[in-house]
Amino acid sequence: MKKSNNKRFLAVDILLLILTVLPIVFAIVLKVLTEPPADGIQITGARIFFTVHMPVQDWYITEAQINSWLVIISVFFLCLYMTHGIKQKPNSKRQHIAEWAVEKTESLVKENMGEYFAGFAPFIAAVILLSAFSSLLSLCGLFPPTSDLNIVGGWAVLVFVLITYYTCKCGPLHYLKSFAEPVPLLAPLNIISEVATPLSMAFRHYGNILSGTVISVLVGAGLQGLSSLVLGWLPGVLGDIPFLRIGLPAVLSVYFDVFSGCLQAYIFAMLTMLYVSNGFPADDYEKRKLRKNTKHA
């Protein structure tokens, strides 16, 4: 009976790992089958797969949207794998890693947002994972969704809605009054600052990821041309091998694709926490609750 349970547990583990990798494999196959051959350097945005005609504006289904959904599916099954067979007392490295990640996220949220926002930990973890894994798709030769302003802009709009929601916790009138602080003359600047919040978040994330991708492509193409110019005299096939392109692009990829991608995910999550918590009028909210409780008592 125990051996049968072990086999069933292992089978579920393997299935979850396959389902984690399968979306990325699907994205690679889709790219190979649909991307037209190109000569030379081509730096373009996300390809449009098809268009859904709508009454007001057409809805374009792009490579960035498909890859973003595939990342979500992949992360979902990865979380299921990490929590499969979880027990009260950890007995595996997998559970230790999962608990460490949860504890670190909860600690990060409490340090930057306070006890009131302790429930934000799953959301912040989702933001970090989605952003990091989306950027890391470039390691597989896929278009990273974070290189599309529409995707990152959607995340920024969601954060802006959360900021506005928690800023309005003391009522719409209190929210409108906050634009006139510390003096009414600064109201136009405060309004501009409020609107600029999602724009700055989106452009910062998008710009850093896109610039890294462009630099990596240009350096790789430049080294290939330089190799052909300097070592093209070598006989036979050796003259066609881009020797100068070996090594340096991989080092750049470690920085731009891995380090920069994970760093931008962390920065986006940090800005989300800071903007939401700083926009929440904690003292006024507590006073408002106290007045309500006193009134009902």
Tens-place pLDDT, residues 60-106: 888 999 999 999 999 999 999 999 888 888 778 888 999 999 999 99
Angle at 154 between CA 150 and CA 155, to 5 degrees: 125
Q: Is residue 41 part of a domain?
A: no
CA gap 20, 76 in Å, rounded: 8
CA gap 107, 101 in Å, rounded: 10
CA gap 206, 149 in Å, rounded: 6
CA gap 216, 257 in Å, rounded: 9
Give me the count of residues in the chain: 297
Q: Is residue 271 part of a domain?
A: yes
- Please give the structure tokens belonging to residue 151: 């995707």
* pTM flag (> 0.85): no
The pLDDT confidence band at residue 19, using thresholds 50, 70 and 90, is very high
- Please give the structure tokens belonging to residue 148: 């599309």
**Residue 50 is inside which H or E element, if any?**
strand 48-52
- For every residue of 256-291, DSSP letters joined together read IIIIHHHHHHHHHHHHHHHHHHHHS-HHHHHHHHHH
How many domains does the structure of the chain reveal? Answer: 1
Predicted local distance difference test score (pLDDT) of residue 259 = 81
- Which residues does residue 51 pair with via DSSP β-bridges, in sequence order? 60
- Which residues does residue 48 pair with via DSSP β-bridges, in sequence order? 62
Provide mean pLDDT across the span 24-53.
80
CA gap 92, 28 in Å, rounded: 32
Residues of the chain with pLDDT > 90: what percent?
Answer: 28
Q: Is residue 71 part of a domain?
A: no
Q: Are 86 and 95 in contact (CB under 8 A)?
A: yes
* Contacting residues for 110 by C-beta, under 8 A, at least 6 apart: 118
Q: Is residue 80 part of a domain?
A: no
Q: Is residue 167 part of a domain?
A: yes
Q: Which residue has the tokens 């300097």?
A: 230
Q: Is residue 70 part of a domain?
A: no
- Which residue segment(s) compose the domain that 201 sits in? 144-297
93-113 vs 260-279: helix crossing angle, rounded to 10: 40
- Which residues does residue 61 pair with via DSSP β-bridges, in sequence order? 50
The pLDDT confidence band at residue 245, using thresholds 50, 70 and 90, is low
CA gap 279, 275 in Å, rounded: 6
Q: Are 231 and 253 in contact (CB under 8 A)?
A: no
Which of the 8 DSSP states describes residue 91? -
- Which residues does residue 50 pair with via DSSP β-bridges, in sequence order? 61
Q: Is residue 132 part of a domain?
A: no
CA gap 18, 10 in Å, rounded: 12
Q: Is residue 251 part of a domain?
A: yes
CA gap 151, 180 in Å, rounded: 33
3-state secondary structure 153-212: HHHHHHHHHHHHHHHHHHCHHHHHHHHHCCCHHHHHHHHHHHHHHHHHHHHHHHHHHHHH
User: pLDDT by residue (tens digit) across 117-158?
Assistant: 888 999 999 999 999 999 888 888 788 899 888 899 999 999
